[in-house]
Amino acid sequence: MTREEALASIEANVENRNLINHMLATEAIMRALARRLGEDEEEWGLTGLLHDIDVELTEGDPEVHSRLGADLAKELGASDGMRHAILCHNEAHGIPREVLLDRALFCADPLTGLITAAALVLPDKKLSSLTSRSLLKRFGEKRFAAGANREQIALSSEIGLELEDFIALGLEAMQGIAGELGL
């Protein structure tokens, strides 16, 4: 599967622009993680890109979400590893995170929300104005972007990155596609 094929499928299945931006941001972080960890950048990026392709189709039903997504990814040609990571990023299924790809997607998913929220409260609403230091401060504010699961983000230690390094990597990755995200 190519990135273009994955994007075409996303555009066919997802209407919400914010959700698409979330998937693009997750892709960017996953690509950066793959580079940092010496993994397959294309596989990791596509996994991040496709991980929430079914959210609107399943109407956010946690019992169904990611099962359909894994099936859609399979139809596009996703590997078994990609499909497993998509499945286990949703804790509702109780599927263990077995390999680095699984754990990386699980950590990267909520980080995009924290970074986006932190950018949106800035006067210019731009990722370029956001620093990893200010993001770390926001990370400590439990009420800020409460939907961004801090425990999940902090599991970055399971992929070999200290929290500070993970947040900095995620911010830099998203800043690299800021124009595409409108931030």
The Cα-based distances of 1 to 29, 46, 105, 163 in angstroms read 20, 9, 19, 32
Q: What is the pLDDT of residues 65-95, one digit of tens each?
A: 999 999 999 999 999 999 999 999 999 999 9
Return the CATH architecture of domain 3-181.
Orthogonal Bundle (1.10)
| DSSP character at residue 99 | S
The model's pTM:
0.97
Task: Give the tens place of pLDDT for each residue, 26-61.
Answer: 999 999 999 999 999 999 999 999 999 999 999 979
Q: What average pLDDT does the chain have?
A: 97
State the average pLDDT over residues 154-159.
97
What is the average pLDDT across 86-112? Answer: 97
Alpha-carbon span 109 to 101, nearest angstrom = 12
Name the residue type at position 156: S
